[in-house]
């Protein structure tokens, strides 16, 4: 019997991915269906529905679910869910498809078929309403949200650029894209990760969310998880990121190096999941915890500015939101993956080691402030990286990546990354 936390929603893993004969039959049928081109974000969402990562979702949200999730962080049946999972289409594509099946494609690849049960218009006002509820935080940038969000917030830009209609309904997923081959051994479905953790006898498991290369603070957080749990999953996003972020192949190589040299391998698993970042800060921290419960993880490490961008969010807003979420009566509909809230971490020269605001009594001048944004900025500008910022073996990999870039993207510093608010 597995000791791991049950999947979210109380229905077990809801997997929409077809295999074998059913897959071949659905592909043949899809050839005769109307084809709709989908976004990169929707492709990642589809794959997560396929492998059970988005259990209990079995398709894109209808209007009732979209509205309820934005307003209350609940599906219309009362199940906790923090972020809309919707599929946008043009007015032309939306015409006369309600009640029919369509084929969903991305860059020429057939990804899924969908039974369209709902078609609803998304006006400019609807999109803005969604953005204000899902992406607006308590950071200084949110005081002038609409002055800068459409230019500087990648999640808001994504929603505002969506087409005129959303369609909702169940899907049959026909492909996992190139993830199983491109990230062989790292990309894992919930079923695969659960099997691996069951073999190790794990029960209490922590996840470290990563979209940046691992620096010393990430390493410290992971090791705090190892000390307090049966094991840690270093869980990296391997989908699409905003310009200037470091691609997954490079980050995976960095993690491999760190695990090989600085971790007890029996206590850590490196895994990847196929989503695109939404940069929704607190709401995305909840989404990460929700799908991690499906992967068998019951604790999520949440540090400073989890899933944030710019200065849109308060530095610990992603921790605080866990104390404010709805608690449905049915335990199966509640979020069971809990946060492990970690204070601001850094290297302290006087402590001669990694520390946090809770453990270090020294001044800001004694501390090396660690941040993924700051590291990317230093490397992209070929600046000197301070001692104790990252492991030298990792910095070698990152410098090699930056030296090979032909097009540079300006990295903007935020308050948290600079340490100005410490």
What is the average per-residue pLDDT within 158-171? 98
Is the residue at 56 inside a domain?
Answer: yes
What rounded mean pLDDT belongs to the chain?
93
Is the residue at 389 inside a domain?
Answer: no
In DSSP notation, 121-180 reads: E--HHHHHHHHHHHT--SSGGGGGHHHHHHHH-HHHHHHHTS-SEEEEEEEEE---TTHH
Is the residue at 30 inside a domain?
Answer: yes
What is the average per-residue pLDDT within 119-140? 97
379-420 tens-digit pLDDT: 888 888 888 888 999 999 989 988 887 776 565 655 555 555
Question: Which active-site residues does the annotation give?
Answer: 211-212
56-85 tens-digit pLDDT: 999 999 999 999 999 999 999 999 999 999
**pLDDT exceeds cutoff 80 at 298:** yes
> Residue 66 belongs to a domain with what CATH number?
3.10.400.10
Query: What 3-state DSSP class applies to 344?
Result: coil
The model scores a pTM over 0.85: yes
Question: What span, in angstroms and rounded, lies between the C-alpha atoms of 333 and 327?
Answer: 8
Is the residue at 374 inside a domain?
Answer: no
Locus of tokens 């310009």: 243
Residues listed for the chain? 422
**214, 260 contact by CB (below 8 A):** no
What is the average per-residue pLDDT within 39-46? 98
Predicted local confidence at residue 125, as pLDDT: 98
Question: What span, in angstroms and rounded, lies between the C-alpha atoms of 336 and 79?
Answer: 12
The range of the structural domain enclosing residue 80 comes to 20-173
Domain count, the chain: 1
Is the residue at 363 inside a domain?
Answer: no
339-377 tens-digit pLDDT: 999 999 999 999 999 999 999 999 999 999 877 777 888
What is the average per-residue pLDDT within 130-144? 96
Is the residue at 3 inside a domain?
Answer: no
The dihedral through the CA atoms of 338, 344, 347, 348 has a sign that is: negative
**118, 167 contact by CB (below 8 A):** yes
Is the residue at 86 inside a domain?
Answer: yes
pLDDT band at 422 (very low <50, low <70, confident <90, very high): low
């Amino acid at each position: 019997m597995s000791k791991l936390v049950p999947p979210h929603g109380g229905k077990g893993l809801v997997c929409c991915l077809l295999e074998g004969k059913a897959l071949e039959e659905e592909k043949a049928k899809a050839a005769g269906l109307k084809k709709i081109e989908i976004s990169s974000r929707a492709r990642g969402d589809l794959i997560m529905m396929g492998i059970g990562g988005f259990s209990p979702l079995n398709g894109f949200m209808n209007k009732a679910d979209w509205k309820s999730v934005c307003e209350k962080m609940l599906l219309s049946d009362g199940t906790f869910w923090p972020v809309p999972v919707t599929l946008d289409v043009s007015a032309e594509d939306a015409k006369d498809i309600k009640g029919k099946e369509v084929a969903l494609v991305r860059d020429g690849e057939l990804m899924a078929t969908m039974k369209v049960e709902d078609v609803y218009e998304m006006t400019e006002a609807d999109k803005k309403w969604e953005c204000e509820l899902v992406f607006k935080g308590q950071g200084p940038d949110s005081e002038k949200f609409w002055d800068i969000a459409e230019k500087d917030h990648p999640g808001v830009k994504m929603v505002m650029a969506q087409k005129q209609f959303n369609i909702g309904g169940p899907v049959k997923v026909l492909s996992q894209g190139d993830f199983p081959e491109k990230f062989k051994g790292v990309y894992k479905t919930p079923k695969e990760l659960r099997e691996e953790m069951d073999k190790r006898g794990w029960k209490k498991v922590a996840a470290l969310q990563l979209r940046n290369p691992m620096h010393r603070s990430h390493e410290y957080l992971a090791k705090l998880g190892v000390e307090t749990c049966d094991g840690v999953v270093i869980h990296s996003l391997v989908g699409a990121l905003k310009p200037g972020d470091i691609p997954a192949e490079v980050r995976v190589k960095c993690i491999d190096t760190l695990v090989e040299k600085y971790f007890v391998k029996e206590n850590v698993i490196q895994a990847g999941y196929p989503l695109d970042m939404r940069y929704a800060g607190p709401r995305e921290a909840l989404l990460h915890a929700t799908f991690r419960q499906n992967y068998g993880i019951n604790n999520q490490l949440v540090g400073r500015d989890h899933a944030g961008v710019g200065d849109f969010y308060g530095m610990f807003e992603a921790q605080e939101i866990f104390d404010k979420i709805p608690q449905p009566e049915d335990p199966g509909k509640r979020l069971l993956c809990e946060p492990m809230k970690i204070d601001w971490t850094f290297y302290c020269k006087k402590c001669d080691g990694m520390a946090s605001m809770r453990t270090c009594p020294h001044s800001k001048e004694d501390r090396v402030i660690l941040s993924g944004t700051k590291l990317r900025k230093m490397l992209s500008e070929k600046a000197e990286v301070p001692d104790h910022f990252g492991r030298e073996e990792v910095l070698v990999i990152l410098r090699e990546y930056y030296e090979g870039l032909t097009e540079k993207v300006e990295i903007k510093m935020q308050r948290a990354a600079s340490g100005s608010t410490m």
